[in-house]
Amino acid sequence: MRYRVSHATTYTYDEPVTDSLGIAHLLPRVLPWQEVEEARVEVSPVPGDMSWDRDYYGNTATYFQVTEAHTVLEVHATSEVEVSSPSYDAGLLARPWTAPRPLVHPATPGAVAATDFALASGQAPHHPEAAAYAAASFPDGRPVGEAVTDLVRRIHADFAYDKTATTVTSTIEEILEKRAGVCQDFAHLTLACVRSLGLAGRYVSGYLATTPPPGQERLVGADASHAWVAVWVGDDEWLALDPTNDSRADDRYVTVAWGRDYADVVPVKGVIFTEAKRSTLQVAVDVAPY
């Protein structure tokens, strides 16, 4: 599948901002299953300084500084990508789930690169309640691919999608208590579950191409940033699953960045200097097949 992706972020302030420094993770990754044909980020007002670099996890980070006084800041990323469905080694997926645990078996091929994603992070910690919830999907000897898929299925069934239930700072305890959240929460919960059992999992940020209801036109700008997970199954392979939709990440998913949790891959973040007391944020995302 080929997609044109547009991600527009607009900040509006009630007083001028005299200096704005930002970091954006908005440009898709080049991957074996994802080809990036074109990608760019435009900022208005035009930054006095703007550059690109690879962060620790290989994501493209865009840095900018706007020193022109402004009450509106726009960060607009556009890209054209071609995505196919990842393929997986059936033998790796069939191994017992206890095998690909990098902290337990550090000599396993690929374990060194996976270790960072088995450690606790701020929003996806090792957590006893998460481990207890996950345990039903991970009996002794169960294949890792089957176990992780079952965990994702259960989270989809047991937790309601509710935009009002949580915030970007919600904890695993809150998610487990409310049994509701959004894609970010379900990704963090999945990661807390697998990491608590010694597996490695990374938070993946990107986009999901959505299909409108039958008979209705696709709404431009109705899509949103999406989050899912990838669990290490051995060697260089990571099984990518979406607990929000109980599915594998296939050719509908555009991968932008990955890290330990949301904090590593925030689409746009930064620091401003201003006397403003109020601000608004608007985000419009569109993923259009072509």
Sign of torsion, CA 247 248 251 256? positive
In this structure, whether the domain defined by 2-83+266-289 belongs to CATH 3.40.50.410 is answered with no
Domain layout of the chain by residue ranges:
2-83+266-289, 90-250
* Residues facing residue 254 across a β-bridge: 207
Q: Is 157 exposed, middle or buried (0-12, 13-18, 19+ CB in 10 A)?
A: exposed
Q: Distances in Å between the alpha carbon of 56 and those of 160, 260, 271?
A: 34, 11, 21
Name the percent of the chain lying above pLDDT 70: 99
Provide φ and ψ at 131, rounded to 5°: -60, -40
* pLDDT confidence of residue 87: 95
Q: Is 140 exposed, middle or buried (0-12, 13-18, 19+ CB in 10 A)?
A: exposed
Those residues whose C-beta lies under 8 Å from the C-beta of residue 263, and which sit 6 or more positions away, are 121, 122, 123
Tell me the pTM: 0.95
Peptide bond into 212 cis (omega under 30): no
Q: How far apart are CA 196 and CA 37, in angstroms?
A: 38
**DSSP per-residue string spanning 61-115:** EEEEEE-S-EEEEEEEEEEEEEE------HHHHTSBTTSS-TTT-TTSTTHHHHG
**Tens-digit pLDDT profile for residues 196-245:** 999 999 999 999 998 777 888 777 766 789 999 999 999 999 999 999 99
Helix (H) or strand (E) holding 37: strand 34-44
Find where tokens 């080049």 sit.
30
* pLDDT confidence of residue 221: 65
* pLDDT confidence of residue 168: 87
Task: Find out whether 228 and 253 touch, Cβ atoms under 8 Å.
Answer: yes
Q: Is the model's pLDDT at 21 over the cut of 90? A: yes
Task: Find out whether 187 and 201 touch, Cβ atoms under 8 Å.
Answer: no
**Tens-digit pLDDT profile for residues 170-181:** 999 999 999 999
**HEC letters along 202-230:** EEEEEEECCCCCCCCCCCCCEECEEEEEE
In this structure, whether the domain defined by 90-250 belongs to CATH 3.30.1950.10 is answered with no
Task: Find out whether 263 and 123 touch, Cβ atoms under 8 Å.
Answer: yes
